Structure 1
């Protein structure tokens, strides 16, 4: 089995490699190819990756290359984890929206739209080259904004599934609270990427006992603290929202916080410099503890599970993925990309039935879906008016004066990445 990681020079790749090494019985990789145009950085990451495989007794071969076509040729699955513009572009996404009093974040609001506009054309070009070289390969997208990027891939006819680590992170935390194995926890997970709610927590599978009320009663304070939301809100909602819902439920509070501290991008950039120094040490043969602060917890486990399921291995039968709605949520278009539990197999993913969704959540999903439709249109066709319409539609913006100013800011900060600007 050959698996290719595009964006393999990421400082987070050793976490992924560690998961491939530990879970080799679930996903028996014979060749792992790390593709990245940043060759010096790629060699540092690739060197550590080879040492991790050796330390854990994995017999697979690790190849590094800047040649995308060579890297994806013959791959069974291609995992996308790229960041167009790097941390420098992310820092801009997180700062200029604050000037209008809007949240600055890399996957939602104006910053999220900027990332989508930079990313969608690049990902589609990569996917077309994968299709030319190896049309049978699965594309697993971990590149944010996952919902919009996955929708672009699916609309273009690619064999694509979107992946996020939010659900697996909550599964692991809930399992710890309940004192059970993570595999015993099944989430009733519903929404869009980075806009999800856990409406049930079941033991043993989709039809198991719902212990969410027990979980909120016994561990609500800890869960609320992790989400940085007030405990009474969780009690009133009766669900566990994704931590990204804080940008919606406490928008002004978040903006005040963001204005008084360094950006997350600046923190990550500093961390990446330290990590690369560590990776250069030929004695290092395991992922360093600092990597846990980089973000993306349990990404490797989620990626292994999904790839194994798609490639006929022993992945979990039910997994949270991003895929076409196809009638699962009747209040959204069939071609909306939703994030829900699904069965996973070599023929693809099929969402599980979802009970009726509370209008409080359904309304926000419908609003953000409309924004994502406009955002994808802007990413595919460009133009100031399309950017403005997407920003005006976003529930974190919504005022024409803000949308107008943010449109100019977005274009000014991203001109080098926008072929139409």
Structure 2
């Protein structure tokens, strides 16, 4: 694929991912947690990397998240990430925590590094213990050359996903080419303040920990935390970023002249992954994008966007190509944001459907034809201020019920 270059000198590489940055490798294997598909994957850096993470707000945080947070806290670095799919290792008590530490210990041994330099994460069915005999056998084999392949990693992290999610970008910092790569999984149980969603970002940038964490949190709030599939926030969600410094740029901080360019590139990666997760919602046929403008604050703009994108009535209307703008207006009204109804404008694609507290005249068949597209945009103007936000979701279909009614069987 030909690279795309944005006006901000960000080169976008849609077919690259976590191994584009210097010094990173990845791979995956089938170890037997799933019947046939790859179910154990890794990312490894040649050198310890500055690491930062954001995690699910679900009170029932899975054991791997606890282990990973504790490990990163030791020196704000990791050198490897080990991921299994098919089993979440969540709600598994003391044994689940011991198993997560064992995963970490065994992979660290194979790599010849300190245990706290390994982050671990899991995704899949909640409430079942990991089959540690199968997992440990897989760990002993996974670093063999035949399993080293970024495509294997991206497949190994999936559950009900129908496709891989990947992207990479490159920017110039201090005359050096800095790469940022990403891969993610997520299809159902998606409603972040993180969701069963895992995101992995690698970069060869030299960057200070505090600034990397700040950038990750701010970008997550604008991207991963602005998607929803079904309103359920998982026990296992996390986004991890590793920065190994091998691009050899001068250390990035907020005061660096190229800081904004790096952050813009980082955001391109996260926003792309977030949108791909939303589009791949279980049973989904359409990506829905809601743009909210004219809010009195950024939190208000995000709240309105998330209310609309989370509405099952809006989602089913989009699936049925029904231009029922009343459902959109209703969601704005219960978003918790004080609004002036007569000041709001709502458009479905290019069609203004609501203004001055009243419906706008439309040719319904034209709007229905627009709603047949794979990407649907909804525009909301609140006319209260200067803040904006964008949220992403998907339609709600019969297949979503079928997939989740038989998830464990």
TM-score range, shorter chain: under 0.3
Q: What TM-score results when the alignment is normalised by the length of structure 2?
A: 0.22
Higher helix share: 1
Q: What TM-score results when the alignment is normalised by the length of structure 1?
A: 0.21
